[in-house]
Structure 1
Amino acid sequence: MRAFFKNIQGDRYIWAVAGLLAIFSFMPVYSASSNLAYLYGDGNTIKFLFKHFAHLMLGFAILYGVHKIPYHYFRGLSIIALPLVFVLLLVTLAQGTTIGGANASRWIRVPLVGFTFQTSTLAGVVLMTYVARYLSRIKDKAITFKETLLPLWGPVFLILALILPANFSTTAIIFAMVTLLVFVGGYPLRYLGIVLGAGLLMLTLFVLSAKAFPGVFPNRVDTWISRVENFSDKTDTEGDYQIERSKIAIASGGIKGLGPGKSVQKNFLPQSSSDFIFAIIVEEWGLVGGFILMGLYLFLLYRLVLVAHKSEGMFSKLLVIGVGLPIVFQALINMAVAVELFPVTGQTLPLVSSGGTSIWMTCLALGMILSVSAKREIKEKDIEENDNPLAVLSEAL
């Protein structure tokens, strides 16, 4: 065990936050999964606990392996991974798994293994890395909007267009994070305004097209609209069943909570172990537990800013911001949804909610951040030859 800890590199506080979140997640996941166990007939909650344990073990194996890779290799790897992400998103859009009879084609089923994988979360990490790479290359150059249109915004809008039909919330979050990243990277504001206007126009055209041809994208646009309407209509107490149950859970928890495993609303919330797990946590652990959990994510944000500040190269700074901020942003959105500060989005609580893809991609992003924060890497400047994907492959082989 001592040898294992000696091989751990990077920011120890980030390691500690990730470990604390993972360890804490077992209790609410085990408690909240009871409704799933009875829903599927056997009433066995242990298998859900073991499944969550397996997801976390694989996730931390990914984290450990990725944090050993020198971060400048992620430059070239982002170019290699981008076309693969395009293909995966196309396959997902065409053959995505439908869950519960709804048009929820966000997952693809991996052959032989049998588990499902949500490709949009991988696309988000790859895209943020690619954007960080591109911005680091143009940081000292005078650019025009035309020069950045295809190499920067082409991949961004293509990936978002492939995610949008099945997952509006993820599309909106990725676009917001890309916008924030290019702003931090010094992209001209006048060009950024053009991009924001174009994004809004494209979204409007998509919604109008989906409403005009409902058979192409069944359920999704109507679902988005109904969620926004339910959120804005405060007098509609039956408009959003999940939000009402979530607020009941939070109100029942009070300051100290009902105690671990004593949640009542877990039996009524459809996504109690994933999308609305924060409500179950507050019900069982009270506002004290909820604020402590929020504090861990905010402390993670502080460490991310510190790592980015200490990094010397532009790519390393933007990489930490690009893959790290979405983790904290997603956590805050999940909490905001539970207390009705935000419409229902379907975003999980990173490293706490059940769900393999979310855990694995969070660990992938944290591994990249820890690679940057490793002392041997912080003291090195970005290596331009590793921007070439062929150089990355040849050195790896």
Structure 2
Amino acid sequence: MAQRAQYLGRHNPEISLGQKIWQLNWGMVLLVGIIAMMGLGMLYSAANGSFDPWASRQAVRFGIGVVLMLLVALVDIRLLFRVSYLFYIVALLLLIAVEVMGSIGMGAQRWIDLKFIQLQPSELMKIAIILALARYFHGVSQEDIGRPAFLLVPLCMVLFPSALVLRQPDLGTTGMLVLASGAIFFCAGVRLWKFVVVIVAGLAAIPVGWQFLHSYQQNRVLTFLDPEQDPLGTGYHILQSKIAFGSGGIFGKGFLQGSQSHLNFLPEKQTDFIFTMLAEEFGMVGGLVLLSLYLLLMIYGVAIAVRSRNQYGRLLAIGLTFNLFLYVFINIAMIMGLVPVVGVPLPLISYGGTVMLTVMMGLGMVMSVWLHRDIKISRRGVQDDF
């Protein structure tokens, strides 16, 4: 009887709400909480030992984000499948709305002012494009994927929003949209030689694309190649970041003791360069602890993708996990001078409302894949017979 009950438990994907709550991946929830608490501590330090103006607001956003993450995790994956294209269309319309009525800040038009939050639709598109591509490639044969004409639709789904985001201008988010979409294409079975063709074409187009970059974007690239050419101007951010990063040493200067950050040499210490402040105060050890937590979170995501019995869940989990990796990799590579400064925040650590909520929503979707890993989904979005 025990073996029969165990068999039925494994092969009956329909579970009650109480069972779903019990089976939530609480290990992921714990990791998210620990990372976010570290972020709140760094925002407290960034304000010189005060919860205002950043830590208190971020704590409220995190609380809302936790509720959102858990609610999304409990949503049936078949419902996510059905609304994937709708979510994409809404995000695309919001991107178009930015062109018409978007708020301008720091020289860029990226936000819609909703009074209670500055909504950044490009962040929502990072989730929407993964949802839409995961649905498009769900259940298709390798023969279909091998046809170039079959890839025209998903390519347009990627290029159109990428062009809108590039116009804002937001080079970092554009790169993340393209790279995360590329991961979905690869995991869906698109042949490697097609990626090589796209990469070669992209490299060949660099001289042309350079002419369309804004002057400050061109300066960022030139500064990346030689930050010391203008140490008090365009190279100031990255040079101060390297100084603060290196001054932390092995164990750091101590909480609230970072000289570069607290004497205001370090720019944007609450957003883009918050990892630099962490490294200055807690040293290489503190940085490695945070990176290890991120790594564990990504391992959870990959393991969930592997366990999913439906292609939609696999692509969704791997795409969202790779999106999290891009946040972390680009931000840390940026503050170390390994890539140009493109304004990509550190998830759950950097100050920001839309980024916090979209990251939490994405993690909730990964947890939903875990809860519904044994459900098989047809091309129409209904459960197949076992």
Deviation of 1:8 after TM superposition, in Å, equals 5.3
Which residue of 1 is the match for residue 222 of structure 2? Answer: 229
Write the letter of the residue equivalent to 2:363.
L
- Equivalent of 1:115, from 104, 114, 117? 117
- Equivalent of 1:99, from 105, 109, 114? 105
Q: Percent identity?
A: 28
Which residue of 1 is the match for residue 337 of structure 2? Answer: 340
CA contact (8 A) 1:333 1:342 kept: yes
Distance 2:340 2:209 in 1: 20
- Equivalent of 1:175, from 173, 178, 188? 178
Distance 2:18 2:63 in 1: 15
Q: CA 1:93–1:197 in structure 2 vs 1: closer, same or farther (change >3 Å)?
A: farther
Distance 2:76 2:20 in 1: 17
Deviation of 1:114 after TM superposition, in Å, equals 3.7
Deviation of 1:270 after TM superposition, in Å, equals 2.5
SS at match of 1:106: strand
Q: CA 1:64–1:279 in structure 2 vs 1: closer, same or farther (change >3 Å)?
A: same
SS at match of 2:105: coil
- Equivalent of 1:157, from 159, 164, 178? 159
Q: CA 1:20–1:349 in structure 2 vs 1: closer, same or farther (change >3 Å)?
A: same
CA contact (8 A) 2:103 2:112 kept: yes
Distance 2:336 2:375 in 1: 44
Which region of structure 1 is more displaced relative to structure 2, 352-361 or 249-258?
249-258
**Does residue 12 of the first structure (1) align with residue 26 of the second (2)?**
yes
Distance 1:173 1:237 in 2: 28
Write the letter of the residue equivalent to 1:92.
V
CA contact (8 A) 1:246 1:269 kept: yes
**Does residue 254 of the first structure (1) align with residue 258 of the second (2)?**
no
Output one character per residue of 1:346-385: Cα deviation in whole Å (capped at 9) or x when no partner. 11111111101111010010000001112xx112212443
Output one character per residue of 1:224-280: Cα deviation in whole Å (capped at 9) or x when no partner. 211111111154360411111111111221111111122222222221011000000
Q: CA 1:59–1:203 in structure 2 vs 1: closer, same or farther (change >3 Å)?
A: farther
Q: CA 1:256–1:168 in structure 2 vs 1: closer, same or farther (change >3 Å)?
A: same
SS at match of 2:119: strand
CA contact (8 A) 2:20 2:74 kept: no
- Equivalent of 2:381, from 379, 382, 386? 386
Output one character per residue of 1:52-99: Cα deviation in whole Å (capped at 9) or x when no partner. 111111111110110010123222211112221121101112332222
Which residue of 1 is the match for residue 140 of structure 2? Answer: 138
Distance 1:51 1:167 in 2: 25
Output one character per residue of 1:84-132: Cα deviation in whole Å (capped at 9) or x when no partner. 11211011123322224x2x1111111xx34211110100110011111
Deviation of 1:156 after TM superposition, in Å, equals 1.0
Which residue of 2 is the match for residue 125 of structure 1? Answer: 127
TM-score normalised by the chain length of structure 2: 0.87
- Equivalent of 1:187, from 186, 190, 208? 190
Write the letter of the residue equivalent to 2:274.
I
Write the letter of the residue equivalent to 1:252.
S
Distance 1:5 1:286 in 2: 43
Write the letter of the residue equivalent to 1:88.
L
**Does residue 243 of the first structure (1) align with residue 249 of the second (2)?**
no
Distance 1:311 1:369 in 2: 10
Q: CA 1:69–1:254 in structure 2 vs 1: closer, same or farther (change >3 Å)?
A: same
Which residue of 1 is the match for residue 90 of structure 2? Answer: 84
Aligned Cα RMSD in Å?
Answer: 2.5
Which residue of 2 is the match for residue 216 of structure 1? Answer: none
SS at match of 1:105: strand
CA contact (8 A) 1:256 1:287 kept: yes
**Does residue 272 of the first structure (1) align with residue 269 of the second (2)?**
yes
Distance 1:148 1:370 in 2: 29
Gaps in structure 1 of 5+ consecutive residues: 35-42, 211-219, 389-397
Q: CA 1:204–1:107 in structure 2 vs 1: closer, same or farther (change >3 Å)?
A: farther
Which region of structure 1 is more displaced relative to structure 2, 323-332 or 360-369?
323-332
Write the letter of the residue equivalent to 1:68.
L
Gaps in structure 2 of 5+ consecutive residues: 1-16
Distance 1:204 1:79 in 2: 35
